[in-house]
Homo-oligomer: A and B are copies of this chain.
Amino acid sequence: MTCVLVVDDEPQMLRALHLNLTARGYDVVTAEDGTAALNQLALREPDVIVLDLGLPDIDGLDVIRAVRTGSQVPIVVLSARVGSSDKVSALDLGADDFVTKPFDMNELLARLRAATRRAAPEPVRRGRVEFGGAEVDLEAKTATREGAPVHLTPTEWHLLELLLRNPGKLITQRHLLTALRGQPDHTDPSYLRIYMAQLRKKLEQEPGRPRHLLTEPGMGYRFNP
């Protein structure tokens, strides 16, 4: 099911969009400000974002910038600002479309379809990954090392999945933390270290010298296939 993240500070608008999108078969996630939007982005990885530019905490353009630094998810901007300069800025910052309020719901839905259709060739997300002497099946939730079955806890699975689904890509510790817990508990990288250590102990051949679950000091972690 297509997941759409709707960001708008007006509860009324949020409700209307939620209603229409849900009726159309979308899986809808909402956020009322930029901070919540970025958190939801890390938590749910939506397939498309509907973004109002007038947010209470962060400027909409900065939200676009922030999203684009870590994701290529399509963004459809929804705004009451009619000036062309806002449109140009938003589109040049990486937004995919711009709809001015008031808008026709059918048009918005069509634009959403166009945006998701373009992004359709998603990065192939295989469920099976093999590295070192370990074999992981993300869908069956099974893992083995040297043929022997390995048991992983829910949190370990969550963390492992985030890394394995983005092979070679660095994942920020902030990103990992917001995904594991609901909020980035400002100072808790030690939390991640524990689970990375667990994963390495269970999956790496030399947990002391990891070859696939790598640390990028000061930034985050990376899965090296």
Contact = CB atoms under 8 A, between A and B. Distances in A.
B153 A140 contact: no
A109 B91 CA distance: 10
Given A139-B169, A141-B170, A157-B219, A106 B88 contact: yes
Given A118-B96, A139-B70, A153 B218 contact: yes
A128 interface: no
Contact of A168 (B140, B153, B170): B140
Contact of A87 (B72, B110, B126, B219): B110
Contacts of A104: 84, 87
A97 interface: yes
Contacts of A219: 141, 154, 157
A142 B168 contact: yes
A110 B139 contact: no
A209 interface: no
Interface string A96-123: 1110000010110111011000100000
B96 A141 contact: no
A46 to B, nearest CB: 17
A205 to B, nearest CB: 20
Contacts of A168: 140, 142
B153 A217 contact: yes
Interface of A: 69-70, 72, 84-85, 87-88, 91-92, 95-98, 104, 106-107, 109-111, 113-114, 118, 125-126, 139-142, 153-154, 157, 168-170, 216-219, 222
